[in-house]
Amino acid sequence: MSTPSAPSAGAFIAALPKVELHVHLVGSASVPTVLDLARRHPGGPVPTTEEELREFYVFRDFPHFTTVYEGVNSLVREPEDVATLVTGAARDLAAQNARYVELTVTPYSHHRMGMTPRAVTEALDLAAREAAGFGVRVAYIFDIPGEYGADAARATLDHALAEPPRDLIGLGLAGLEEVRARHRDTFHDAFRAATAAGLHSLPHAGEVGGPPIIWEAVEDLRAERIGHGIRCLDDPRLVAHLRETRLPLEVCPTSNVRTRQVPDLASHPLPRLLEEGLYVTLNSDDPPMFGTTLEGEYQVAAEVFGLGPAALADLARAAVLASFLDEQGKREIIAEIDRVPLPA
């Protein structure tokens, strides 16, 4: 009896079971979903035609990206909208052979649109149950939007501790890194309270700002993973620390290009991060906004950075091991990865 032939490189990437650790709920909204919301809530900053929306998604710099993101977020006005985004993200990931996602939600943004913490939590719990029907397990990270300071930190922490969704696993911190410094003590206090309550520390750092903000995440926020972290390469001592502690980095190559933090994919530091022996995972961040997918990031790793199938499988395993999925779930996904034959 003949054995199955190994897949081609593209088919191998498609067949590879995947885990997504760094993707934002609003940023995961598909173009058709955003257009539907924009037409449902006219008069806002978001265009209502596909051509104009794709132009809207051309970012001048990181502050411009945050402005656009906020505009899209303003369309999410009802708990049903929140649930729709979660199930949409799960459906899209299922089509890419993803098994598990740690989805970043910014509840303060939904509070500002008039939703109560309980309503948001109920929508998230409902959507997680529906996502399971696509074969994707969903966990949540509650993200503090750093530019909103103490109010956002308190509201996010209160929601996380008082009315958390069933699958809440961690607290994050995002937004303009240079603005976050003004509220440093408040954020430190919020992370201390969250980790004392059993949540994981999962801040963004080193996407725009340099090594000091990564050191702050490591030393003051007790980060268990770093969102982005690509600026670590500017500090050899930090690189050595990250290598020795095996602190995972959630690397999002296309995102960094689209927000103008890296000039082009060929210049992206992912190959050097790997050469330095750092713990790297591959992620999509805000895929429709950036014109990418999780599968597309693996394709970039193969086609632009020259990573072979074995290295791609190692990245897939790294994401599983860096996740906060239960140990049985991790073993099952890794076993699936191991069963995918490498191309000849």
Walk along the chain (344 residues) and give the pLDDT tens digit of each residue.
333 444 577 899 999 999 999 999 998 888 888 888 888 888 888 888 888 888 888 888 888 888 888 888 888 889 999 999 999 999 999 999 999 999 999 999 999 999 999 999 999 999 999 999 999 999 999 999 998 999 999 999 999 999 999 999 999 999 877 777 778 899 999 999 999 999 999 999 999 989 999 999 999 999 999 999 999 999 999 999 999 999 999 999 999 999 999 999 999 999 999 999 999 999 999 998 899 999 999 999 999 999 999 999 999 999 999 999 999 999 999 999 999 999 87
Q: What is the pLDDT of residue 7?
A: 58
Terminal CA-CA length for the chain: 19
Alpha helix segments (H runs only) across the chain: 9-15, 31-40, 50-56, 62-73, 79-94, 107-112, 117-132, 149-162, 177-180, 184-196, 211-219, 236-245, 253-258, 270-275, 287-290, 294-303, 309-322, 327-339
Q: Give me 320's structure tokens.
A: 């599983």
Q: Name residue, tokens 């919301």.
A: 37
Known catalytic residues? 207
**Cβ–Cβ < 8 Å for 319, 281:** yes
HSE-CB at 139 with a 13 A cutoff on CA atoms is: 20
- Give the class (CATH, top level) of 9-324: alpha beta
Is the pTM value of this prediction over 0.85? yes
Q: Give me 92's structure tokens.
A: 């899209």
What is the DSSP code (8-state) at residue 285? B
